[in-house]
Amino acid sequence: MVKIITGKRGSGKTKILIDAIHAAEKMSKGNVVAIQKGSSLNTDITYKVRLINIEDYAVSGVDAFYGFIAGILSSDHDCTDIFVDATLKITGRDYAKLGEMFDALTKISPDTTITLTVSADNSELPEGVLKFIS
């Protein structure tokens, strides 16, 4: 399942994401992964959550990001939740490709919830992306 949290920069998306990460960690019977660009979440996330700085892996663009997520899912069958902060900084702003990636992630993650922040107003997003708003 793919869910997105949308809003302009500074609207509180990351705080919502952090609260969701903590809730998932408490409820999960498996592994919780949080992906960030940089080190913005380092002090806010419990050590029990696997925190990944995507910059350490030189991932950029929709296709590379999809491959990265698919790699996590294929190597960790106990992964119940993946959280991503700053999605558009990783993938770029091609909203049509973003929607296609969300559709593809839905197909490969039936037992994993993937929650992503998207720094854009809902009015900017196409239907292919809007359908994933939680």
Whether the full predicted model's pTM is greater than 0.85, yes or no, is yes
Q: How far is CA 45 from CA 76, 106, 117, in A?
A: 20, 25, 16
Q: What is the CATH number of the domain that holds 52?
A: 3.40.50.300
What pLDDT, in 10s, does the model give residues 61-108?
999 999 999 999 999 989 999 999 999 999 999 999 999 999 999 999
The mean of the pLDDT values for the chain is 94
- C-alpha atoms less than 13 angstroms from C-alpha of 114 in its C-beta half-sphere: 24
DSSP H stretches of helix in 93-133: 95-108, 127-130
Cα separation, 110 vs 133, whole angstroms: 17
Query: pLDDT at position 133, please?
Result: 93
Query: pLDDT at position 91, please?
Result: 96
Query: pLDDT at position 39, please?
Result: 80
Domain that holds residue 51: 2-130
Query: pLDDT at position 112, please?
Result: 96
Domain count, the chain: 1
* Residue 51 pLDDT > 90: yes
